[in-house]
Homo-oligomer: A and B are copies of this chain.
Amino acid sequence: RGLPGRAGVGRAPVRGSPRGRPPARRCPQRDPHGAPLPYTLGVRGNPYLRGPRLAPAVTSPALFVLRGIPYLSKHRADRVKRLGDFLNRESFDLALLEEVWSEQDFQYLRQKLLPAYPAAHYFRRTWLFSGIIGSGLCVFSKHPIQEFTQHVFTLNGYPYMIHHGDWFCGKAVGLLVLRLGGLVLNAYVTHLHAEYNRQKDIYLAHRVAQAWELAQFIHHTSKKADVVLLCGDLNLHPKDLGFRLLKEWTGLQDAYLETRDFKGPEEGCTMVPQNCYVNRQELEQFPLGIRIDYVLYKAVSGLYIFCKTLRTTTGHEPHGGSPLSDHEALMATLCVRHSPPQHNPSPTHAERSPLISVLREAWTELDQGMAQGRWWATIAGYVIGLGLLLLALLCALAAGGEIREVAVLLWTPSVGLVLGAGAFYLFHVQEAKGLCRARAELQHVLGRAREAQDLGSESQPAGLLGQQEVDRAEEQ
């Protein structure tokens, strides 16, 4: 969620929710630093902590242009300081932060956390001119970061929706490759476009395209990883199309659904009305709050990963003061143990159906988005024509000598109109192309999934769920 405002402070119910996983078995692993770590392989401790909400008014267009967030946010310095103390106290293996818009804050935290988290990275971003603010994503790690890279989403809202402002933030996914206990862990941190109006969501196609790009990025870059971890503010409810698409295509599991030991607000909500930085009006339909921040994971065949505990904050700071995080911070303990490699058979008809169904649904959504983009481009084309006619008329009037001054005065706004409409036209043409590209990729995957389903072929498409596991099992 992009722009929670200020609201009252309260306390959310806390519950422990046992679920269907068997009790975890201890499996001591060798830490890269030599100490045995029970319950480790992959990520011990708390892999996800959402960053500080830097300003309730962060989407004011003036902020973006002035980069004034550090000066406009009353609580920023205090929260960043307290966040540093908290991270030092808790000593997670991996702390992933979002919406840290100021690199100075990152540098401050980096210095403060250096002894406890020797490795850190700030995902800078440039995208002309979208994403001028940066990605706001950063990470602190106890373990050396082997590699990192990032991918900025092609589509990310509209530049003229200045009051929403997502376009000016480079919504992206960052990838870190770590080696823990001999395993390769690919940790992804991301932030998708916000949803501002659930009833009439003009960004739906963009968010579906982002979810698809995210899924594709994970799919293509994690083929050699033993463990995949994705943390982020997806701005998607658990049953939303984008979230289902992501889960079906990557095979990631939802820590909240999988863990037997959850403590946090009802329904695992991560944006709750008790948090003083959340705008209660946005939660009118959801009195308990919404769950839009996630810890997702998976492991290759031969490894079994589970979430031992999942904790979230409950909308207020236990020691007083404003909350550190505007969305509730997620703190998980993930455990990985060896299990006999299983040769996954080709997915059956029933197993493929959810993927095909969600791909079809996403295809339709992207297609509608394309039609919408083209429609806006057409409208802009008419406005350009109109503007050019007006300019010609003004030229004629100025040349004729009558109402010359008025004609000259109207010249600037008319040029502005044509240029603005031109930019609008180009933007929506490009939007349609971007959606078309995502749709083409999706259609290809859908085609192959259908082929496999129709033919009952044993040669499962490389992209289908479980392919990685099958490959790994074949090698072993």
Contacts and interface: CB of A to CB of B under 8 A. Distances in A.
B223 A430 contact: no
Question: Size class of A's contact patch?
Answer: 35 or more
* Copies of this chain in the oligomer: 2
Given A126-B430, A149-B441, A221-B223, 15 more contacts: A124-B436, A125-B437, A132-B429, A145-B444, A146-B462, A146-B463, A147-B219, A150-B437, A151-B151, A175-B220, A179-B462, A223-B223, A223-B224, A405-B405, A405-B408
A136 to B, nearest CB: 14
Contacts of A468: 224
A132 B433 CA distance: 9
A476 interface: yes
A145 B441 CA distance: 11
A86 interface: no
A148 B121 CA distance: 29
Contacts of A409: 408
30 contacts: A121-B440, A124-B433, A124-B436, A124-B440, A125-B437, A126-B431, A126-B433, A128-B130, A128-B427, A129-B426, A129-B427, A132-B426, A132-B429, A145-B444, A147-B219, A147-B445, A148-B441, A149-B216, A149-B220, A175-B220, A177-B462, A179-B462, A220-B221, A221-B221, A224-B224, A224-B471, A405-B408, A412-B415, A475-B475, A475-B476
A81 interface: no
A448 interface: yes
A154 B126 contact: yes
Nearest to A430: B126
Contacts of A476: 475
A63 interface: no
A139 to B, nearest CB: 13
A184 interface: yes
A143 to B, nearest CB: 12
Contacts of A130: 128
A251 interface: no
Interface in A8-62: none
Interface of A: 121, 124-130, 132, 145-152, 154, 175, 177, 179, 184, 216, 219-221, 223-224, 405, 408-409, 411-412, 415, 426-427, 429-431, 433-434, 436-437, 440-441, 444-445, 448, 461-463, 468, 471, 475-476
A126 B437 contact: yes
A254 B141 CA distance: 38
Nearest to A128: B430
A184 B411 CA distance: 61
Nearest to A472: B475
Contacts of A405: 405, 408
Contacts of A462: 146-147, 177, 179, 184
Contacts of A127: 154, 430
A442 to B, nearest CB: 11
Contacts of A444: 145, 147-148
A387 to B, nearest CB: 14
A128 B216 CA distance: 21
